[in-house]
A and B are shown apart, each in its own frame.
Chain A
Amino acid sequence: MANTPVTAVRPPAPQPRDPEDADRPAGRKGKKHRIRQPLRHRLKRDKALLLFCLPGVLYFALFFYLPLAGNVIAFQDYQPFLGFKQSPFVGMANFTALVAEPEFWSAVSNTLQITAIQLLLYFPAPIALALLLNSLISEKIKRFIQTVVYLPHFLSWVVVVAMFKQVLGGAGSVTTLLMEHGVSIGNVMTDPGTFKFLITAQAIWKDCGWGTIIFLASIASIDMGQYESAAMDGAGWLRRIWHITLPGIRPVILMLLILRLGDILSVGFEQILLQRDAVGPDAAEVMDTYVYFHGVVDGDWGMSTAAGLMKGVIGFALILAANKLAHRFGEQGVYR
Chain B
Amino acid sequence: MSQSVATRLRAARSGPRPRKSNGRPPWMERPHWYGQGAKGLALIALTVVVLYPFVLAIGTSLAGREELNANGGYVLIPHHPTLEAYRVILSGGVVTRAAVVSIFITLIGTALSLACTVMIAYGTSRPGTVLAKPILLLVLGTFLFAPGIIPTYLAVQQFHMLDTYASLILPVLLNAFNIVVVRSFFQSIPEELYDAARIDGAGEVTVLFRIVLPLSKAVLAVVGLFYAVGYWNSFFNAVLYLNDAGKFPIQVILRSYVLNGQSINASAMGVHSIPPATSLQMAVLIVAIVPIFCVYPFLQKFFVKGVLTGAIKG
* Chain A residues proximal to chain B, CB less than 8 Å: 9-14, 16-17, 19, 22-23, 25-27, 39, 42-43, 45-46, 48-53, 55-57, 59-68, 70-71, 73, 80, 83-84, 129, 132, 135-139, 141, 145, 147-152, 154-159, 161-167, 171-173, 176-177, 180, 205, 209, 213-214, 217, 223-225, 227-228, 231-232, 236-237, 269-270, 273-275, 277-278, 288, 291-292, 295-296, 301, 304-305, 308-309, 311-312, 315-316, 319
The answer to whether A156 and B235 touch across the interface, beta carbons within 8 angstroms, is yes
Q: Known contacts being A56-B120, A163-B285, is A50 close to B153, with CB within 8 Å? A: no
Of B25-33, B81-89, B103-111, B265-273, which binds chain A?
Answer: B25-33
Q: List, in ascending order, chain A residues with CB within 8 A of B138's CB.
A: 57, 60-61, 65
Cα(A301)–Cα(B153), bound, Å: 11
The answer to whether A148 and B152 touch across the interface, beta carbons within 8 angstroms, is no
Which of B136, B153, B236 is within 8 Å of A269, CB to CB? B236
Tell me which residues from 22 to 50 in chain B have a Cβ below 8 Å from any Cβ of chain A: 22-25, 27-29, 31, 39, 42-43, 46-47, 49-50
A30 to chain B, nearest CB (A): 9
B194 in the interface, Cβ–Cβ < 8 Å? Answer: yes
Cα(A16)–Cα(B187), bound, Å: 10
Cα(A141)–Cα(B29), bound, Å: 20
Cα(A315)–Cα(B54), bound, Å: 36
Cα(A137)–Cα(B27), bound, Å: 13
Given contacts A19-B313, A27-B128, A291-B149, 9 further A-B contacts (CB under 8 A): A48-B205, A49-B123, A64-B147, A141-B43, A159-B251, A228-B11, A236-B29, A312-B146, A316-B145
The answer to whether A22 and B235 touch across the interface, beta carbons within 8 angstroms, is no
The answer to whether B122 and A49 touch across the interface, beta carbons within 8 angstroms, is yes
The answer to whether B174 and A56 touch across the interface, beta carbons within 8 angstroms, is yes
Q: Known contacts being A46-B131, A70-B155, A162-B258, is A56 close to B7, with CB within 8 Å? A: no
Q: Known contacts being A59-B173, A158-B235, is A52 close to B123, with CB within 8 Å? A: yes
Q: List, in ascending order, chain A residues with CB within 8 A of B96's CB.
A: none
- A-B CB contact pairs (8 Å), 29 listed: A9-B198, A12-B195, A13-B191, A25-B133, A49-B204, A53-B131, A57-B138, A60-B139, A63-B152, A63-B170, A68-B147, A68-B151, A136-B39, A136-B43, A137-B24, A145-B47, A149-B46, A151-B296, A154-B233, A156-B234, A159-B233, A173-B56, A205-B49, A213-B304, A214-B307, A236-B29, A295-B153, A304-B150, A308-B148
- Return the 5 tightest CB-CB contacts between A and B, nearest first: A56-B120, A26-B127, A156-B233, A308-B148, A70-B151
The answer to whether B233 and A225 touch across the interface, beta carbons within 8 angstroms, is no
> Which residue of chain A is the closest to B18 with respect to CB atoms?
A224
B105 to chain A, nearest CB (A): 13
The answer to whether B119 and A55 touch across the interface, beta carbons within 8 angstroms, is yes
> Which residue of chain B is the closest to A149 with respect to CB atoms?
B50
The answer to whether A67 and B147 touch across the interface, beta carbons within 8 angstroms, is yes
The answer to whether A135 and B39 touch across the interface, beta carbons within 8 angstroms, is yes
The answer to whether A22 and B313 touch across the interface, beta carbons within 8 angstroms, is yes
Cα(A157)–Cα(B54), bound, Å: 15
The answer to whether A137 and B23 touch across the interface, beta carbons within 8 angstroms, is yes
Tell me which residues from 103 to 145 in chain B have a Cβ below 8 Å from any Cβ of chain A: 115-117, 119-120, 122-124, 126-133, 135-136, 138-139, 141-142, 144-145
B19 in the interface, Cβ–Cβ < 8 Å? Answer: yes
The answer to whether B184 and A19 touch across the interface, beta carbons within 8 angstroms, is yes
Q: Known contacts being A10-B128, A17-B127, A139-B22, is A53 close to B119, with CB within 8 Å? A: yes
> Which residue of chain B is the closest to A157 with respect to CB atoms?
B235
The answer to whether B72 and A217 touch across the interface, beta carbons within 8 angstroms, is no
Q: List, in ascending order, chain B residues with CB within 8 A of A167's CB.
A: 52-53, 56
The answer to whether B150 and A53 touch across the interface, beta carbons within 8 angstroms, is no
Q: Known contacts being A55-B120, A139-B22, A319-B144, is A148 close to B255, with CB within 8 Å? A: no
Give 1 or 0 for each of B156-188: 1 = CB within 8 Å of chain A CB.
Answer: 111100000000001101100001000010011
